[in-house]
Structure formats: structure tokens, C-alpha cells
Amino acid sequence: MSETTTTAPASTTPRPPSRISRTFHILGLLRESPVGMFGAALILFWVAMAILAPLLPLYDPLEPLAPFQPMGAAAPDGGTFWLGTDHKGRDILSRVIWGSQRVLIWATLSTVVAYLVGMLMGSMAGYLGGWWDEIISFLSNVLLSFPVMILFVIIITLLGASGLNIVIAVTFASAPGIMRIVRGLILDLRTRDYVFAAQTRGESAWYIMLVELLPNARGPLIVDACLRLGYTVVAIATLGFLGLGLPPPEPDWGLMIKEAVPLGSFAGHAMVVPAVALSSLILGFNMLADGLREISLRD
């Protein structure tokens, strides 16, 4: 009578499939996109560096050892400065690796906070509509009308340079954009029958937003989050370059580039190394986003 393929005996109680195998299946899909795989590899490399930084045999990133050493020069203690030293004599390899930890932590934290705020605003504007939508959309449009860099500079100069303030600045700059994407997705999803079914069950607006709607918006949001992580890395580096980022002397890629600029070709590697590190990480995020989008467009 039924059009089912498999018929389990009615008495048996099936077991849930393992969550791990599902996760691996999703990761397996990424294999189909070489671009995405390469991006993921770049990101994984920097994440590994950031995590392993305390364990690696590195010089203290803050200690002045010998200034202006070229790549591969011998260190006073018998070791090697693989990537040379900067004008204060600090080991560039060590500073780049410790810098990756800082940039990854703050970029991720800022993006997560921006996403929480943006998703909240977007779902409220999209699902509740009416005055909520009018007010939230208006505020977002005001924020979006500022050029991003000017917004950053204003916020950091007002609040002072610190990691927390970077999070606040990134949230102000990114949340309106995220809100727009989420709002658009929710406006489409809210007309689905399963939302109608939840409404007729008398579910609260919060339940519908968080359980029925947002999980289904995740596809485009994951792609956007990858891109946005890349932008945030740029933003943090730019703030560092402008002297508005994380306060020195902690290693920061933007700051390292800034400090090396006046030295010019005299110590080019001091500028090139952090610049390459920065580009590779951003490239990684962009390529991963491209790869994910490519996969999601298939089937």
C-alpha cells in the first residue's frame, strides 16, 4: 500500500545515526572543490600556527636581540633568525606566528559578535516586520551610509584602542550588512508551510525565529561569514597600520607592516613577511567562501 522502499519491522527501535559521521560527510563534500580545499588549507595552517605558538621553539616576540638581521642570519645564542629581525631586533618569525594568534582571536570574536547582533536584528526585522522592520532597517541604513573606515576611525578614536573596542567597531560596521542578508532570507523563509505549521501550533515568535527560521538560513550565512572573517582580518590589520589597533608592543601584522614601511628596502623582509602572512590568510578565507558557494550551488 505504501510507497516506501524499506520496511523495518514495527517492533524494532532504531538507533540514531552518529553525529560524527554526518559531520565528516559534510567535510567530504568540500573535497569536490579544489579552490575551497586550498583556502581551507591556508586557514588551517594559520590556525595551527596560532594554537601551537606557545609550543614552537620560537624566540620571545618582544625581546630585542639583534636589529636588522636578514633572513637566515645566525642568532647570538647560536640559533637562526629564519625570517630575520626588525628594527628593534625582534625575531620576525616569532612575531608573525604570535601575531596570527592575535588576529585570529580578535577577528573571530568580532565576527561572532557582529553575527549575533546582525542575526538578532535581521530575524526581528524579517519575521516581526511592521515597526520593528522600519526602525531596524532605518538604523542599519544610517550606519551603512558611513564609509566603513571612517566608522572604524570614529569609533576607535572615541573609545580608545583596545581589543574590545575593535569588537565594538567591527560589530557596528558589519551587523547592518548581516542584518540585511538575514532579513532577506527570513522574508523568504517565513512564507514556508512549516512556519505556518509552527504558528498554528501556537509557538512563540522567538521559537519560530531561532528554531524554525535561522537554521534554514545557515547556508548563505556560512559563506558570508567566511568572506566577512576575511574583511575583519583586513580591518584589524588596517587599524593596526593606522595605529588604532591593538596597542603595541604586542605583535600585530598591521603594526608590523607600519613599522617596517619607513625602513624601505633597507629591511624589506620586515614588511614583506607580515604582508604575505596577511594576504595568505585573507586569500584563504575568500577561497574557502568561493569553494563553499560552489558546492552549495551544485545539486
194 versus 266: smaller Cβ distance to another protein: 194
In 31-91, which residue ranges form alpha helices assigned H by DSSP? 34-52
Question: CB of 266 within 8 A of CB of 201?
Answer: no
Question: CB of 231 within 8 A of CB of 178?
Answer: no
What's the rounded Cα separation, in Å, for the pair 84 and 73? 6
Shortest Cβ distance from residue 222 to another protein (Å)?
A: 13
34 contact partners, CB below 8 Å, separation of at least 6: 291
16 versus 78: smaller Cβ distance to another protein: 16
What's the rounded Cα separation, in Å, for the pair 220 and 289? 10
Rule CB under 8 A: which of 186-245 touch another protein? 192-194, 196-197, 199-203, 211-212, 215-216, 218
Shortest Cβ distance from residue 41 to another protein (Å)?
A: 24
- 57 part of the interface to another protein, by CB under 8 A: no
Shortest Cβ distance from residue 258 to another protein (Å)?
A: 45
- 14 part of the interface to another protein, by CB under 8 A: yes
- 21 part of the interface to another protein, by CB under 8 A: no
| Beta-bridge partners for 80 | 74
Shortest Cβ distance from residue 100 to another protein (Å)?
A: 34
Q: What angle do CA 161, 164, 166 make, to 5 degrees?
A: 60
Chain center to CA of 114:
10
Shortest Cβ distance from residue 115 to another protein (Å)?
A: 17
Q: Which residue pairs, CB below 8 angstroms and at least 24 apart, start in 276-279?
A: 277/46, 277/96, 277/99, 277/100, 277/253, 278/233, 278/234, 278/237, 278/253, 278/254
Number of residues this chain uses to bind another protein (CB under 8 A): 29
Shortest Cβ distance from residue 188 to another protein (Å)?
A: 12
138 versus 194: smaller Cβ distance to another protein: 194
29 versus 283: smaller Cβ distance to another protein: 29
12 versus 145: smaller Cβ distance to another protein: 12
206 versus 266: smaller Cβ distance to another protein: 206
Binding segment (CB under 8 A) for another protein, from list 2-10, 45-53, 67-75, 130-138: 2-10
203 versus 250: smaller Cβ distance to another protein: 203
Q: Is 242 exposed, middle or buried (0-12, 13-18, 19+ CB in 10 A)?
A: middle
* Residue ranges binding another protein (CB under 8 A): 1-8, 10, 12-14, 16-17, 192-194, 196-197, 199-203, 211-212, 215-216, 218
